[in-house]
Amino acid sequence: MRQGRIDICWFSGTGNTLKAAEVLGKAFRQAGREVRFVPMTAPAPSAKELGEVVGLAFPVACQGSYPPVWDFCRALPRGEGREAFLLDTLAQYSGGIVGPLGKLMRAKGYRTVGAREIRMPNNFMPKPLSADELGKKISAGEQAARDYAGELLADGASWGAGMPCISWLWGRISRQKLTWRLMARLGKRFGVVADRCVRCGQCVELCPVGNIVLEDVPVFGKTCIQCQRCVMLCPAGAITVKGKEPLRYRVVSGSEMLARERQGGPEPAA
């Protein structure tokens, strides 16, 4: 990778991507590189603010990614020769992100130097896994991120086009408003166990699309993108799915996620 600061622009639902991005950042810093974390929940940096290398880290959703992720990437300034790399986390398969996002970044003047998809535990209607199974999956994902960092530093990574026809089709589907209107309907299944809710307001702050307002209990609107933050990160376990107790999976707590977004990301090691 070229010299200069590396900006890792990130969004994370329940912590998988944040964990992988943190591993990348640590590896870059150990190699003597300056790293800054930029949350995608904040406005995209201007050309004067942006580092010489731009990383894009986020989860896969609907075979592509969430609307706020695409909005952030579209809002990035012209690349003017900057290098860009991609890291996404997923349970199984994407299909609609590597090719389409690479095309977008190249059209904006970035040199795309690497793309890697890392499997992590599923957080969308997750299946029961033992602590040992979860630990092994997370450890494997962290190792994959370390390996990827080494490849990027050694200029040994690449950002391919995927399977062009399939990528184009899935990319179109995952960016359609209709797709996300259907996802929003799933959000109507969310409810709140009133006697558990402590009215901390954390779910309101965590929602990346402003879909939650706090009244007597949290009330859900019509723009849910199923990022799972509110359900999985609720500190009181008060948010349910149709009155059922959901299986909760998270890598960080909600307060940790909010703190990372406020400060940008993990602090440099002392």
C-alpha–C-alpha distance, residues 233 and 222, integer Å: 20
The per-residue DSSP string of 150-194 comes to HHHHTT-------SHHHHHHHHHHHH-HHHHHHHHHHHTTEEE-T
Mean pLDDT of 20-49: 96
Task: Write the CA distances from 102 to 47, 87, 111, 178, 184, integer angstroms.
Answer: 19, 12, 9, 23, 27
Compute the radius of gyration of the chain from its Cα atoms: 18
Question: Residue 165: which pLDDT band, with cuts at 50, 70 and 90?
Answer: low
pLDDT over 80 at 144, yes or no: yes
pLDDT of residue 243: 73
pTM: 0.93
Q: Summarize the confidence of residues 137-143 as an average pLDDT.
A: 94
Question: What is the average pLDDT across 64-83?
Answer: 96
Percent pLDDT > 70 in the chain is 97
Domains of the chain: 6-171 (3.40.50.360), 186-257 (3.30.70.20)
Residue type present at position 69:
V
10 or 125, higher pLDDT: 10
**Does residue 270 surpass a pLDDT of 70?**
no
pLDDT digits (tens, 9 = 90+) for 191-217: 999 999 999 999 999 999 999 999 999
Q: Is the pLDDT of residue 52 over 60?
A: yes
pLDDT at 23: 96
Q: How confident is the model at residue 123 (pLDDT cuts 50, 70, 90)?
A: confident
Average pLDDT over every residue of 46-75? 96
pLDDT tops 90 at residue 239: yes
